[in-house]
C-alpha cells in the first residue's frame, strides 16, 4: 500500500505539479513534506527551481525513479501522464484531492500492479 511505502526509510517522492506559487498546493505540499524531512523531488516542466531546489521537467529527468509519484495537477493532466508513469515502473501513485477523475479512477481499478491513493492529502497523512 502507498502509506506503507511512504513510511519506509529513504522513500523518494516525486511531486508532480510542484510550484513556486505560494498560493498553490503544489508549493504548500512541497514545503510541508520537505519541512518534515521527506525526500521530495519537484517535478514541473516550466520551472528550473522550486523553493531553491532543482526541479525536473519530468520524472525521466530524475537521477533515479521515485518510489512514489504524488500528483497535484488538474485531472486531465493526471489522466494523461499516469499510464506513462506506470509504464516506467512506478507503482505507488498518490492523487491529491482535485487531481482525480472518474476516468482516472476506472483506469487505476483496471490496471494490475498499481497501488494508489485518491482523495487523500499527503500533508494530512504525514501529520
In tens, the pLDDT along 60-103 reads 999 999 999 999 999 999 999 999 999 999 999 999 999 999 99
In tens, the pLDDT along 11-25 reads 999 999 999 999 999
In tens, the pLDDT along 18-58 reads 999 999 999 999 999 999 999 999 999 999 999 999 999 99
Compute the C-alpha angle 6/89/117, nearest 5°.
40
Where does 2-125 sit in CATH, by number?
A: 3.40.50.720
Task: Report the predicted TM-score, pTM, of the whole model to 2 decimal places.
Answer: 0.96
* Domains of the chain by residue range: 2-125
Cell of 101: 477523475
Amino acid at each position: 500500500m502507498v502509506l506503507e511505502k511512504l513510511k519506509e526509510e529513504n522513500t523518494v517522492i516525486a511531486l508532480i505539479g510542484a510550484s513556486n506559487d505560494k498560493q498553490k498546493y503544489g508549493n504548500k505540499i512541497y514545503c510541508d513534506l520537505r519541512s518534515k524531512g521527506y525526500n521530495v523531488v519537484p517535478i514541473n516542466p516550466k520551472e528550473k527551481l522550486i523553493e531553491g531546489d532543482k526541479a525536473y521537467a519530468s520524472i525521466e529527468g530524475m537521477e533515479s525513479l521515485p518510489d512514489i509519484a504524488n500528483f497535484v495537477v488538474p485531472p486531465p493532466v493526471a489522466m494523461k501522464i499516469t499510464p506513462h508513469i506506470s509504464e516506467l515502473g512506478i507503482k505507488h501513485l498518490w492523487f491529491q484531492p482535485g487531481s482525480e477523475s472518474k476516468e482516472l479512477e476506472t483506469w487505476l481499478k483496471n490496471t494490475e500492479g498499481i497501488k494508489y491513493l485518491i482523495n487523500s492529502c499527503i500533508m494530512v497523512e504525514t501529520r
